[in-house]
Structure 1
């Protein structure tokens, strides 16, 4: 199964994933997806369609591809959940207290928000590039019940993985069409994230600037 090469490190990485699937079959796709959770630049939007393509060629079954990739998603998410649980609220507050432009109150507000919307965040977050991996960390920090986290991650991952695996299965050699649309979605997410961070930084700097005259007067 060949992948178009452009000489980049990403192409080399994807080629390694393809080789892994060719050697050990569907479990290789599961391992690659678990690694994608820990190393987001490894694109699931490429790995999943390739798993579907391999299934269409008879390298392994379609059900195997769906089960192994979803299992890989859950395993990778659990590792990041464990990282968040190890970090915990106390360590997180201590880290944030040392960072410029951030306040401990920001952590408390985020925790309160996650308490209300954490379930939706974990489920839908599994379908958003980049956040798909990161959402597991705050779930661990706030110690979302493990059974609930696993079920939500399993459900969200099953939806996302099925779309891309089935696309690769039915599109065959034209699976690159999926990658094109996935790239557009990823760019939208990145632009939105950059805009959000920029807005936060500008707002926080203005707040600090407005407070300074009051502190000088005191």
Structure 2
């Protein structure tokens, strides 16, 4: 996939970066780390500029986030509640759980959006619950843009500094992603155990 990404960026420049980053937000398995660090490296060998790559990649990220936000609007809480009423018993989820999760996101969603944009995989998917909870579009765009700008600036700048060694940074980002995923997995397990115990106490 790296060869395909770098070929598109070499061929289409800013347009290629925009399209790849927008696609990366919609299809998370495409690694933004490769796009951004290689984009930074390209500023040392082409007429692309660091500022230009950062701006274009940020616009692409926000465009992709808006699409996922729109999907979240279609998967609103009421529709999700109907699905849970029909199939939720399999995962032991009730419509009440959905409303609790929605209330939590409405309360803390702004910071979830901001910090979520700094976490691989989560940075893309976090836009869906924002749409589902009907987060104000202006607030969503503001914190999405700020978080995205920080992420993009960091990786593009590092790619520009290390030059031809940009692929080494991708390796370090893979380690970062793995650590983040492990932490998230542990938190999910702990939350699940806590939730199950709490429900058992309520039933008793």
Secondary structure of the 1:148 match is: helix
Residue 150 (str. 1) matches residue 141 (str. 2): yes
Q: Which has the larger radius of gyration?
A: 1
Shift of the 211–62 alpha-carbon distance from structure 1 to 2, 3 Å rule, reads closer
TM-score (ref. length: structure 2): 0.90
Is residue 2:151 matched to residue 1:163? no
> Per-residue deviation at 1:196?
2.9
3-state SS of paired residue (2:120): coil
Report the alpha carbon displacement of residue 129 of structure 1 after superposing the two structures with TM: 0.9
CA distance in structure 2 between the aligned counterparts of 1:206 and 1:152, rounded to whole angstroms: 35
Q: Say whether 1:90 aligns with 2:48.
A: no
2: CA distance, partners of 1:154 / 1:31: 17
Q: Which residue of 1 aligns with 2:10?
A: 22
Name the CA distance, whole Å, in 2 between partners of 1:148 and 1:88. Answer: 18
Check if 1:57 corresponds to 2:57.
no
Report the CA distance between 1:180 and its aligned residue. 2.7
CA distance in 1, matches of 2:143, 2:11: 31
1:1-218 to structure 2, matched below 5 A, reads 13-97=1-85, 98-99=87-88, 100-203=91-194
Higher relative contact order (CA 8 A, sep 6+): 2
Q: Partners of 1:210 and 1:165 in 2: how far apart?
A: 50
Tell me the distance in 1 between the aligned counterparts of 2:106 and 2:172: 33
| C-alpha distance in 2 between matches for 1:126 and 1:210 | 36
Q: Is the 8 A contact 1:122 1:153 kept in 2?
A: yes
Distance 1:158 1:120 in 2: 15
Task: Decide whether the 8 Å contact of 1:101 with 1:201 is kept in 2.
Answer: no
In structure 2, relative to structure 1, the CA distance for the partners of 1:59 and 1:135 (3 Å cut) is: same
What RMSD, in angstroms, separates the aligned Cα atoms of the two structures?
Answer: 1.9
- 2:62 and 2:24 map into 1 onto residues whose CA distance is 11
* Alignment size in residue pairs: 201
Structure 1 length as normaliser, TM-score? 0.85
* Structure 1 residue 207: Cα displacement: 6.1
Structure 2, unmatched stretches of 5+, are none
